[in-house]
Structure 1
Amino acid sequence: MSDTQTKGQTKSSKRKGFDYLRNSIVNFPASARALYAFVFSVLHAFSSIVYPTTFRGVENLKASEDGKGAVLIMNHVSMVEPVVFIVGLWRRGIRIRPLYKIDFEKIAPARWLFRRVGGIPVDRGSADLKALKACRDALKRGEYVLVYPEGTRVKNDEQPVELHGGFAMIAQMAGANVIPCAVVGAADPYRTRRTRRRMPKMAIGKPISFDELEATDRKGRISEMERVAMNDVYTLRDELRNDYPGLW
């Protein structure tokens, strides 16, 4: 390869910039890692005062023996809980890569920031192979990927919910486990509290392995994982509701 070709490729790489989707958070450029630490430190200080959050089951996020990460799934009730969940685990040394709607990519500042804090954009209306591959690679590197199968905020128990089962396909592609999580207290649709202050309660369940499932064919295993994992999410949520009466 000639010097001219090498210089041309170098210039091309600089123009394209760093690929945040294909690299681990720990390998982000120093400037991005500094930004990441700053943003999360500010959010932690703010949320500790405004949205004090309780966690249970964090021990279930221990790294697997094969070094792979896991797909985390959770019910979605407000814009508060993704922030306090991700920041709370960051303070415990656990880095989370959340999926977010590709619509945010239309907002330049959001696109710039979300990618630098580990986010992975996904187009729910199509077979987004780029997002699937980014998630698969992140899991194989030992990172955790956060998915909200409900797809949107569920504002009350009467709201119809259409579950999106892509999380099971992502986990299967990487040979990773699925870990059900749940939240209450991040929203108050029935106005059951004396004050409007939100005090989220988070529960992290035990990992679910494809090896535990009864189905043997690929499609059957994906379908069973979707059902079993989401049942565990709602079981955890109901347990939190019982333990913290009045919180939704």
Structure 2
Amino acid sequence: MPRRKPEKLIRWRIVAGIAIPIFEFFGRYRMRGLDNIPKRGAFVISPNHITNFDPLTTAYLVWRGGRVPRFLAKASLFKVPALGWLLRFTGQIPVVRGGGGPDPLAAATRLIAEELAVIVYPEGTLTRDPDEWPMRGKTGAVRLALEHGIPLIPMAHWGVQRILPRYGGRLRFFPRSDVEMLVGPPLDLSPWAGRSDAKALSEATTALMNEIARLVGELRGETPPAERWDPLAHGQTEYGKVTPPTR
């Protein structure tokens, strides 16, 4: 049997050695459920999405769980000086909103073929739910998991919005914020195994978002809404308001 190539290459260790101390300066992070992160093989992990600080939080958790984080990230981020270089250097996957670019799921499939971890935010953007609960999800995470027969891991975090507000603003350095993170067991996808029709993908995505909401509720000590908030039902596009708010 060929020797498995290590994930935590020197470039990753260099980035982690620089980034983690800075990241830990912003908050106190409590992680639960790390045992639910597979130690080997490909998997998809799907967190809730509250602020633009979330990817750092999720990457930190996946790294502490013994794996290397790889994202489907907005293509516009790759144009940001320094950040764009870092994203390319660490093998992140650009996603063009509204299509028109390379298929991000095809790129994710290549990572899966290499038995790597892929982080997919099923909401596709920051939640629009007024109370910051997970909203209606998209089918990409479920499609990857079903197509390749790999674990789909729900994850939740709460408290990151105290470091960086949902729609921007300044990073909050002091006092350090408490951030809770919780990884759930793999979602049971057996009811939809071998299926790729729209109904199956929709049902499985609803099950995923409900489980993420349940985990968020556990962190918040609250009961989540019975149904996920739908931006289209509230006069919004998939990525934001139809009419951008004035500043």
TM-score, length of structure 2 as denominator length? 0.72
Q: Classify 1:47/1:227 alpha carbon distance in 2 versus 1 (closer, same or farther; 3 Å).
A: same
What whole-Å deviation, never above 9, does each CA across 1:83-113 have from its counterpart, x for those lacking one? 1321233234211111100112333543321
TM-score in terms of structure 1 length:
0.72
Amino acid paired to 1:60: N
Gaps of 5+ in 1: 1-23, 244-248
Give the greater-gyration-radius structure (CA): 1
Shifted more, 233-242 versus 82-91: the winner is 82-91
Q: For residues 57-96 of structure 1, what are the structure 2 equivalents within 5 Å?
A: 57-63=33-39, 68-96=41-69
Counting helix residues as a fraction of each chain, which structure ranks higher? Answer: 1
Q: Deviations over 1:29-65 (max 9, x none)?
A: xxxx4342222112211222322211111111124xx
> Which residue identity does 2:43 align to in structure 1?
A
Q: Does the CA-based 8 Å contact 2:37-2:65 persist in structure 1?
A: no
1:177–1:208 Cα contact (<8 Å) kept: yes
Bigger drift between 71-80 and 83-92 goes to 83-92
Opposite residue 208 of structure 2, the aligned amino acid is: A
Q: Would you say 1:39 and 2:15 are equivalent positions?
A: yes
Alignment match, 2:29: 53
Q: Distance in 2 between matches of 1:50 and 1:186?
A: 10
| Aligned residue number for residue 218 of structure 1 | 196
Q: Distance in 1 between matches of 2:71 and 2:121?
A: 9
* 2: CA distance, partners of 1:74 / 1:179: 8
What letter corresponds to residue 63 of structure 2 in structure 1?
A: W
Distance 1:215 1:27 in 2: 29
Instruction: Tell me the amino acid that sits aligned with residue 218 of structure 1.
Output: S
CA distance in 2: counterparts of 1:174 and 1:152, whole angstroms:
24
2 CA distance for matches of 1:120 and 1:151? 14
* 2:179 counterpart of 1:206: no
Q: How many residue pairs get matched? A: 208
Residue identity opposite 1:141 in structure 2: E
Q: How far apart are 1:151 and its partner, in Å?
A: 2.2
What SS class does the counterpart of residue 199 from structure 1 fall into?
A: strand
CA distance in 1, matches of 2:5, 2:51: 26
- Which residue in 2 is equivalent to 1:173? 147
Q: Which residue of 2 aligns with 1:163?
A: 137
Matched, 1:238 2:217: yes
Cα 1:210–1:140 shift into 2, 3 Å:
farther
Aligned residue for 1:201, secondary structure, equals strand
Q: What is the CA–CA distance in structure 2 between the aligned matches of 1:102 and 1:232, rounded to whole Å?
A: 28
Match of 1:104 among 74, 77, 86: 77
Unaligned runs of 5+ residues in structure 2 are 167-173, 223-247
1:53 alignment partner, SS class: strand
RMSD: 3.0
Amino acid at match of 1:177: P
Question: What percentage of residue pairs aligned between the two structures are identical?
Answer: 26
Cα distance in 2, alignment partners of residues 25 and 135 from structure 1: 18
The residue type equivalent to 2:19 in the other structure is L
